[in-house]
Structure 1
Amino acid sequence: MVAPISQVFQHSKPDPQSPDDIPQADIAYVGRVAILVCTYNGERFLAQQLESIAGQTYPHWVVVVSDDGSTDSTLEVLRDYAERWGDSKLSVRRGPGRGYAANFLDVTCDGSIESEFYAWADQDDIWQKNKLESALRRLQDIPVQTPALYCGRTQLIDEHGARIGFSPLFRRPVGFANALVQSVGGGNTMVFNDAARQLFQRAGADLDIVSHDWWAYLLVSGAGGWVFYDASPTILYRQHDTNLIGSTSGVRMQLKRVRMLFRGRFRTWNQRNIAALDSIQCQLNEESRTRLDFFKRARSSRGLARLDWLRRSGVYRQSLWGNLGLVLAAMFNGI
């Protein structure tokens, strides 16, 4: 249950834009956004994140923080902002204490939080002023009963806030065939409507998933919902030593993922995602169920039959090298 903090003590233009280049005009009211922030010992950067939320061009939001047992001054920072903003603007709940993915799923499924739209936020990033506006411009015209998810590219910064690059730019279409073998958007970029939120609730908060953002991509695309990938970054994604999940950009990170693929990590991840999808097959549309079945057959087959079922499943990754790695992984029982 959400409680006041006093009770309590994660397609547009492909060329990235600077925050200074973003128009600052507000858009018309399309609904309230519940910003779900998960914290754990986030005292270093939390205030910067909250200030960037306060500076959004779309002002119709509330912040719900799910704290997973912080032992530093995180709760004191939150108390200060609750006093400044008011309990109606910022509230805090206790997280389940089972890690970041479980924390995000738990707060997302909390029925006491009601809103038209939801956004995930990490404790150490900085949102550009147009973050919510950019997402809502894509989500606002989707029928309310249709699940819809916005995600996108990020501008990378170091622990001091200096810009150091961008996350990979994905150019191929997004959808369930891609989601089965790749996550394209970080949870810190994601905004979704209430129909998507209801999918999370029906699936449940106690699933053994790899990550909440990959699960969101699988769930919404698998149910036949809309997924929007924004090529223009709207958040500054901080890279530092205490990051639980960092960017996938850079040659070193790509080589690390190839090594994980051949060590069986990718196959283990797929098994966990498939088990979660199997538990909610009734929420998937017919095309997604068929694609999932073919992918499962590829995983259980041998030799050329495995490659044939993989081809028939239609799964793909976003890059040429990623797809070559996928085929190699299949040949060596790595999917």
Structure 2
Amino acid sequence: MTPSATPEPSPAPVLVLMATLNGGPALQEQLDSLSSQQHTHWRLHVSDDGSTDGTLDTVAAFAKAQAAHGRDVAITSGPGRGFVANFLGLLAGVRDDPAFVALCDQDDVWLPDRLQRGVEALSKGPADQPGLYCSRSWVVDQDLQNPRISAAFPRPATFGNALVQNIAPGNTILLNAAAAQLARAAVSAAQAVPGLPAHDWWLYQLVTGAGGLVIWDPEPTLRYRQHRSNQIGANKGFGATTRRFSAMLAGRSRSWTDANLAALRGAAHLLSPESATLLEAFDRARRGTLWVRLTAPSKLGIYRNGTLAQAALLLSLALRRL
């Protein structure tokens, strides 16, 4: 008798988390790009923060269409306190330990291999080590035209970098099961901190702080739509540099750092001993004398990608704006 062929393993399931608020016409294009993914084994959880346009109708129609393909689309009400709280609530609600968790903005357009690239990259690492995949994007205008590639981050993804710079755009993030479990264990501490600047930055800090693996893919995996209602714009160009410099001078960078450190302290038991030590050393240094502040990056291994960004780090430390 001819031995039966070994069946192909089922594709790893991906839970996609999308936060919405008045998504408008762009939402349908994002949903269409999700249904066109090469990695077809996914389900979607939408948390809506009180849309008053046709967002809920669009999602409901999409849910009905996807049910025919055996894909579940769930719709729940968000906390109504902004996109950061909405995404944190979505992460807190992950209960069934999916193999992977992807974050999704409401107005981008995913390239067909967005999920597949992330799943393949993270699948090469240890399953018990928290893993976060992220990538570059094609930054486009409101009509998805005039593409330009997003910023490059060639230096290693470490906790020392994560403390002062976010290189993990949330709309490109994919977490493995261990990272999703880590986020769920830490999210209540983050939710308790007022003014947490960004859920993706928190995830980058958390995963690196816990000794996890961060894979930054230099290949773009989506079209990042820019328009007036963007909550956070592309981190590239003169406008982005000007915004960051203005935020630093206004003291917002320091308040963001205070909030980030508070969230990490609330989950200190999940950090590696080395990261917990670095966290406290960095906080002491940013409050120290001018000499201590200026020498902290080299002594502690804290850095930003890019010459100008590193210079801005030193300036913000000199002026006590970090």
1:36 aligns with 2:17: yes
Deviation at 1:256, TM superposition (A): 2.2
Aligned-pair CA distance for 1:98: 1.0
Q: Give aligned pairs, total.
A: 309
User: 1:152 matched to which residue of 2?
Assistant: 135
1:23-172 equivalences under 5 Å are 29-86=10-67, 88-172=71-155
Is the 1:292–1:313 Cα contact (8 Å) retained in structure 2?
no
User: In structure 1, what residue type is equivalent to 2:109?
Assistant: I
Question: How far apart are residue 143 of structure 1 and its match?
Answer: 2.4
Q: Pick which of 247-256 and 267-276 moved more.
A: 247-256
Distance in structure 1 (CA, Å) of the matches to 2:90 and 2:120: 25
Which amino acid in structure 1 is aligned with residue 183 of structure 2? F
- Three-state SS of the structure 1 residue aligned to 2:15 is strand
* Partner deviation per Cα, 1:246-296 (whole Å, 9 max, x = no partner): 101111221221222122111111110001111111111022112112211
Paired letter, 1:84: A
Deviates more, 1:312-321 or 1:254-263: 254-263
Q: Residues 209-241 of structure 1, C-alpha deviation per residue, up to 9 Å, x if partnerless? A: 211100010000000000000111000000011
Q: Alpha carbon RMSD of aligned pairs, Å?
A: 1.5
Distance 2:298 2:46 in 1: 43
Partner of 2:225: 238
**One-letter identity of the residue aligned with 2:280:** D
**Contact conserved, 2:103 with 2:174, CA < 8 A, in 1?**
yes
Contact 1:43 1:77 in 2 (8 A): no
- Aligned-residue offset at 1:112: 3.8
Secondary structure at the residue paired with 1:201?
helix
User: Contact 1:119–1:191 at 8 Å: present in 2 too?
Assistant: yes
The one-letter code sitting in structure 1 at the alignment partner of 2:151 is: P
Structure 1 equivalent of residue 185 of structure 2:
202
Give the equivalent residue in structure 2 for 1:7. none
What is the Cα deviation at residue 114 of structure 1? 3.7
Q: Secondary structure at the match of 2:147?
A: strand
Q: 2:290 is aligned with what amino acid? A: G
Choose from 258, 261, 273 the match for 2:260: 273
Unaligned runs of 5+ in 2: 1-7
TM-score, reference length from structure 1: 0.89
CA drift of 1:307 comes to: 2.2
Rounded Cα–Cα distance in structure 1 between residues aligned with 2:29 and 2:9: 26
Q: Deviations 1:286-329 (Å, cap 9, x if unpaired)?
A: 22112112211111101212223343221100001111111111
Separation of aligned partners in 1, 2:10 and 2:257: 40
Q: Which amino acid aligns with 1:82?
A: A
Letter of the 2:296 partner, please give it: W
Do the aligned partners of 1:147 and 1:225 also contact (CA within 8 Å) in 2? yes
Given the alignment of the two structures, is residue 301 of structure 1 paired with residue 288 of structure 2, yes or no? Answer: yes
* TM-score normalised over the length of structure 2: 0.92
1:11-30 correspondence to structure 2 within 5 Å:
29-30=10-11
Contact 2:13 2:41 in 1 (8 A): yes
Task: Give 3-state SS (helix, strand or coil) of 1:120's partner.
Answer: strand
Asked if 2 retains the 8 angstrom alpha-carbon contact of 1:179 and 1:218, the reply is: yes
> Unmatched 5+ residue regions in structure 1?
1-26
Counterparts of 1:120 and 1:242, CA distance in 2: 19
Equivalent residue in structure 2 for 1:188, among 171, 178, 183: 171
Equivalent pair of 1:166/1:249 in contact (CA under 8 Å) = no
Identity, % of aligned pairs?
37
Q: Letter of the aligned partner of 2:38 in structure 1?
A: T
Q: For residue 88 of structure 1, report the CA deviation from its aligned partner.
A: 4.4
* Preserved CA contact (<8 Å) 1:153 1:167: yes
Cα contact 2:11–2:39 (8 A) shared by 1: no
Q: Quick check: 40-49 or 197-206, which moved more?
A: 197-206
Q: Alpha-carbon deviations, 1:118-171, whole Å to 9, x = none? A: 000000000000001110111112222210000111101111111331211111
Distance (whole Å) between structure 2 residues aligned to residue 71 and residue 95 of structure 1: 14
- The Cα of 1:113 is off from its aligned counterpart by 4.8
Q: Is the 8 A contact 1:155 1:163 kept in 2?
A: no
Distance 2:139 2:81 in 1: 27
Question: In 2, Cα distance between the equivalents of 1:286 and 1:310?
Answer: 19
> Could you tell me which amino acid in structure 1 is paired with residue 54 of structure 2?
S
